[in-house]
Amino acid sequence: MDLISTTKDLTQACRALARYDHIAVDTEFMRDTTYWPKLCLIQMAAPDGPVYLVDATAEGLTLDPFLDLMGNEAVTKVFHAARQDVEIVYHLGELIPHPLFDTQVAAAVCGHGESVGYDALVRELAGVSIDKKHRFTDWSRRPLSEAQLAYAAADVIHLLPVYDQLQREIAEVGREEWIREEMDILTSPGTYSTDPSDAWRRLKMKVRKPREFALFMDIAAWREREAQNRDVPRSRVLKDDALYEIALHQPESEQAMARLRSVPKGYERSSTGRDLLKIVHRIRKLDPDALPAMPRKDGPQRTSGPVSDLLKVLLKGVAAKNKVAARLVATSDDVEAIAADDDADVPALKGWRREIFGEKALDLKHGRLAIAIDGNRLSFEPREPAKPKPKRSRRRKSANGDATVHG
């Protein structure tokens, strides 16, 4: 279990792994001081035992053989909680490992709980306890100890029997299509989009007016581009609180920016501070008609509270009946959106989620489904929606005193 540090050895290892129909893959990385994750170690294992640990920081090492293997359509790449690993590969080589299997997602589909950890899943399905002592290792430091390498190897060695067991469970319950849909999401480039114009969406909304919102969007996008280009955490460029304060106060001068508490001292005189002032000036000059519309905030909750409460009861019952994690079927935001809009663009109204929950949610919302308590269980029965009551006729006397009927 030596550490591979040359392109020649990596090429040989990847050629050996390419002969298998599936392999286990994991990565160790650091991103405390960078925007992009810094890849430190790659672990790969084959079903019959070969385990390869790759020192991604080794001088002169090129990762092209590894990227070729990740793009090899004949080999299924098995990860646990794959999103960050895939993000690393996507950033390195602008490709997404495919075909891919995520054991964390598959475990949720098979009823092992939402976002189950690797060590818990290995203990449950492989009967092995993993020593978690090196979980918080600084993987960028060299040399790595034998104990650290053994810990890293365990992340892929036990992944393969877990994969085998999950494959059996998926076949038993007939959820191959569910898994395919989930892996399609994980392997979609849109899942890993880092478009700066969307940066504001990950932040809390603390602005109330269209001009504040326009400035908030622009400076969030500016910060994202700065962080990406300089490869530093967003907070190293400017903290979230400063974004909110600038958007609210819209400082027009260096002196005005210097008075903001959340902006670092002297920042207003830096090149980045001057860039921010230019953005402020541009937004302040925008015609009101050119300002973006404010996003709706908690609209469904205000208008559909009782409906969403019933849908959440339905969700719990459906998840229990199908032995699948409720949050995998639908999030609270999904439920709120369905309560407000039959055509909401949410995962819960697509694919297998619509089949087991979405259609029932719409039926319940429109009175075509009833919820009943059967012992300790919830049951759902179709029902005919109530027919509208006929209008009652109104009698009114005419000018000559005769009664007339009006519908």
Same domain, 187 and 56: yes
Query: Is 397 inside any structural domain?
Result: no
pLDDT in tens, 384-399: 766 666 666 555 555 5
Q: What is the mean pLDDT of the chain?
A: 91
CATH number, domain of 339, equals: 1.10.150
- Of the residues 142, 167, 192, the one at which a domain ends: 192
Same domain, yes or no: 214 and 341: no
182 part of a folded domain: yes
**In a domain? residue 395:** no
Domain hosting residue 265, numbered range: 196-290
User: Is 388 inside a domain boundary?
Assistant: no
Query: Which has the closest alpha carbon to 45: 67, 68, 20?
Result: 20
Same domain, 225 and 178: no
Strand order in the sheet with 22-30: 3-4, 51-55, 38-45, 22-30, 76-79, 100-102
Q: How far apart are CA 63 and CA 175, in angstroms?
A: 35
pLDDT band for 375, please (50, 70, 90 cuts): confident
Q: Using an 8 Å Cβ cutoff, are 303 and 282 in contact?
A: no
The arithmetic mean of pLDDT across residues 185-210, rounded, is: 91
Q: Does one domain contain both 207 and 271?
A: yes
* Whether residue 75 sits in one domain with residue 31: yes
Query: Both 136 and 208 in a single domain?
Result: no
- Residue 404 inside a domain? The answer is no
- What is the structure's pLDDT at 302? 45
Residue in 271, 275, 272, 242 with CA at minimum distance from that of residue 259: 242
> Is the domain of 284 the same as that of 326?
no
Lowest mean pLDDT among 96-110, 165-179, 245-259, 292-306: 292-306
Q: Residues 180, 217: one domain? A: no
The domain that contains 232 carries what CATH number? 1.10.150.80
Residue-wise pLDDT for 315-367, tens only, equals 999 998 999 989 999 999 999 999 999 999 999 999 999 999 999 999 999 99
